[in-house]
Amino acid sequence: MIAILYYGGDGIETGLVVFGLLLAPYAYLIYVSLRSRRKVLGFMASVVALLAYYFALYAFPAAATGALAVVALVVMLMWTRRGDLWPPVVALALSVIGLALGGDALSYNFKTALYPFQPASWSESRWAQVDPGCPPTHNVFENTYSPARLRIVKTCAVAVGEVTGEISISGDGDFTFNIEPHPENASMLSIGSIILRHRTLHIEVVPADQEKVLGPIGGVCPSDVVKITGVFVIDTDHGMHSELHPAYKFEILSRRQNATWPQCIINIPPELRRETG
């Protein structure tokens, strides 16, 4: 928290180091279990609890999984004092139940945490569009700046929400803004998005796609309710927040104010401002 307050957005990288320290009690339990009479059962319970806790909070908040992993930790700490049979059994059951209740957040965490270890991540087709619901392409990041920092959760995802905050053109030319996702898309918010972007999903349209994506709908402005299709990723260089990047299909569901585009962009290039009067 101190790192986030002092350094701002990038401070979450420092702050998340604490997350590693929070795994220490689980590592201690593994050590104790290997020295106990019931080392196999204790070891299994400790390892599964550690994995459940780690994957519960890697990038997306799998609350039920994390909570039950913490309860399993407490139960196992009781076991280190008494040595009974039931604590490892209960702890193992709690961790397994937690993993079963992880939902979308846990599946997203498995995908992103294990991304470097997946064989497909090292192949030439690692960024291919594999979802038939989106236009086929051999590289979804063909026009994206520095794509190595992005870890794909889904190559094709849809989110609905209200445009909020400022709309701007970033340094690499991307058209960027945030949306407050509707409840059915709340699981797309990573921990970084919740903390650093105030529960909003970040959207970026790369320069090569802006005319064909934004032109037909007349652009977007704050308070617009939009349905957006794009590549669902987490940005490992900027606080592990979640994004649709690149976003390549927009549908305006409603406009709630008479804002004009592109004047609602805070740093619109002068030449674009002149063209639009």
DSSP the chain: -HHHHHHGGGHHHHHTHHHHHTTHHHHHHHHHHHTSTTHHHHHHHHHHHHHHHHHHSSSS--HHHHHHHHHHHHHHHHHHHH--SHHHHHHHHHHHHHHHT-HHHHHHHHHHHTGGGSGGGGSTTTT----TTS---S-TTTT-SSGGGEEEEEEEEEEEEEEEEEEEE-TTS-EEEEEEE-GGGGGG--HHHHHHSSS-EEEEE-HHHHHHHHTTTT---TT-EEEEEEEEEEETTTTTEEEEEEEEEEEEEE--S---TTTTBTT--HHHHHHT-
Spatial separation of the C-alpha atoms in residues 64 and 86, rounded to whole Å? 22
The two structure tokens encoding residue 236: 């490992």
Please tell me the distance from the alpha carbon of residue 145 to that of residue 11, in angstroms, as a whole number. 22
Q: What is the pLDDT of residue 4?
A: 44
pLDDT in tens, 204-226: 999 999 888 888 888 888 889 99
Cα(21)–Cα(23) distance, integer angstroms: 5
Q: Give the β-pairing of 175-181 and 241-254.
A: unpaired
Q: How many CB atoms lie within 10 A of CB 42?
A: 26
**65 or 256, which is more confident:** 65
What is the amino acid identity at position 224? D
* pLDDT at position 168 over 80: yes
What is the per-residue burial (b if ≥16 Cβ within 10 Å, else e) of 57-68?
A: bbbbbbebbbeb
Q: pTM for this structure?
A: 0.83
Nearest Cα to 188, choosing from 242, 237, 152? Answer: 242
At 263, list the tokens: 């004047």
pLDDT in tens, 3-31: 444 444 455 555 555 556 788 889 888 88
Q: Take residue 269 and report the two structure tokens written for it.
A: 């290039």
- What average pLDDT does this structure show over 253-275? 62
pLDDT band at 259 (very low <50, low <70, confident <90, very high): low
Antiparallel, parallel or unpaired: β 225-235 and 201-205: unpaired
The proportion of the chain whose per-residue pLDDT surpasses 70, expressed as a percent, equals 85
Question: Taking 80 as the threshold, does the pLDDT of residue 229 lie above it?
Answer: yes
Rounded CA gap, 209 and 25, in Å? 48
The answer to whether residue 86 scores a pLDDT higher than 80 is yes
Prior bond of 262 cis (ω within 30°): yes
